[in-house]
Structure 1
């Protein structure tokens, strides 16, 4: 089977698809023949991603707020009308503002959990009938983080949310196993995305270090002394979505150069 036909006819819906990891995933799955619904809140970046995909293989689903049940239902209806039931939902939408725990007030805590954890719940629950309908071959893929497997200072809410995503993924893997649906999480380390750009800005503002020094400090967490690329994360997602990963279920796949070794 050619690489371009690996996911032929499969419908993937990717949240937070307007840039960074989401864009790379859309390009990887689209390049493998999938029909891709690129979902997010703002249309302009989604249009830019859709333009990189094969003609007729991309649908822009804007106004897709993972914290809003009505927006999710409307977006899924549009996606289904274009490409049929979703067989590969990829929960990628997220945010990771930095703050000490002392400065993480209830509003900030609630906002991060609403997007990074409850958003995964919302989209997955809405797409569940599609997954069950597709059965064998359907793939639920959640983008978690190494923060879902270990701890980092100044992102307590993000760590809590991503630990929740990994736990939710494992629970769903067991519940859905007999249906043929698999559920897995991909856990990137520090990745070259706009989230990292914002983290660098925060470090510069708080410490007075240069942007290059701040970026180098983040790269030090990776034993390979580099930041992960979005394309490396997308390659892991592509593998999990492929027929070769039929027996991979309930796993947290770490993409971090050896920073975290999941046992």
Structure 2
């Protein structure tokens, strides 16, 4: 342990994917001594009455991994686009652990991948913004309210994207939502600075995660090559020679959560292996 997070309470959303940023972040926070609250959409409580945890199998799996890493853990099914779900998530956090110190707003969807913007349904555009941007706002707002009441500051980390740095023609909803996340981060940082609450953003570049692989599979098929060959090609275009992986992002997120970055707020950090394309 090196980041001074022993006993801190961290909420991480979007933890369900096996190779995702949320899971990697939760595990790294656990290894640094934090108590971790895991949130993911998963399935509703009524749909999974046979699960003793009362959460989805994906969420239960990550909770078990975090426990094995030595952390106290609470798992809460939540749709971050729902104000009531987010309010419940934070209230259960405070009821269980007594406080919240760190919010990692990671949950996101990429529902407009490879869609012609002239044919993109408004419903898909709205849903992407509801999860990626409004969800980030709701989580940050709810966490900040508790942090202000506690009077001891805190750290909120949002997740951007290389699509937040430059527009992408067939990702207009996702790119718009992630551009908004950077603006939200900067605005909240200024608003919350008097309370000692820092707000920063981590922006992945080309990544090897479950969500990215879904699009890479389509791209590889269109090119007539194997997925692994496409990933090798994409990695070779990055100065450090490989695709970014979830743990690369987790390291930056945990650093932003820690006192080691105590004089940083309103920042958006690229974690991309040195790529100038994001």
Same fold (TM over 0.5): yes
Q: Does 1:174 align with 2:190?
A: yes
The whole-number CA distance in structure 2 between the counterparts of 1:82 and 1:107 is: 36
TM-score, with structure 2 as normaliser: 0.86
Query: What number of residue pairs does the alignment pair up?
Result: 259
TM-score, with structure 1 as normaliser: 0.91
Structure 1 residues 69 and 12: alpha-carbon distance in aligned structure 2, compared to 1, 3 A threshold = same
The aligned counterpart of 2:8 is 10
**1:70-85 mapped onto 2 (5 Å cutoff):** 70-85=84-99
Gaps of 5+ in 1: none
Q: Deviations over 1:14-66 (max 9, x none)?
A: 0001221000000111111111001011221121112122455111112x001
Q: Deviations over 1:87-112 (max 9, x none)?
A: 10100000123123223221111111
The whole-number CA distance in structure 2 between the counterparts of 1:86 and 1:260 is: 36
Is contact 2:31–2:70 with CA below 8 Å preserved after alignment? no
Gaps of 5+ in 2: 43-55
Mean alpha-carbon deviation: is it higher for 182-191 or for 217-226? 217-226
The aligned counterpart of 1:28 is 28
Q: Does 1:222 align with 2:241?
A: no
Structure 1 residues 146 and 201: alpha-carbon distance in aligned structure 2, compared to 1, 3 A threshold = same
**1:111-122 mapped onto 2 (5 Å cutoff):** 111-122=127-138
Structure 1 residues 56 and 32: alpha-carbon distance in aligned structure 2, compared to 1, 3 A threshold = closer
Is contact 1:14–1:90 with CA below 8 Å preserved after alignment? yes
SS of the counterpart of 1:225?
A: coil
SS of the counterpart of 2:65?
A: coil
Q: Deviations over 1:218-241 (max 9, x none)?
A: 435533332101111000011111
CA shift at 1:144, angstroms? 1.1
The whole-number CA distance in structure 2 between the counterparts of 1:11 and 1:212 is: 38
**1:26-175 mapped onto 2 (5 Å cutoff):** 26-42=26-42, 43-53=56-66, 54-55=69-70, 57-62=72-77, 64-97=78-111, 98=113, 99-175=115-191
Is contact 1:100–1:156 with CA below 8 Å preserved after alignment? no
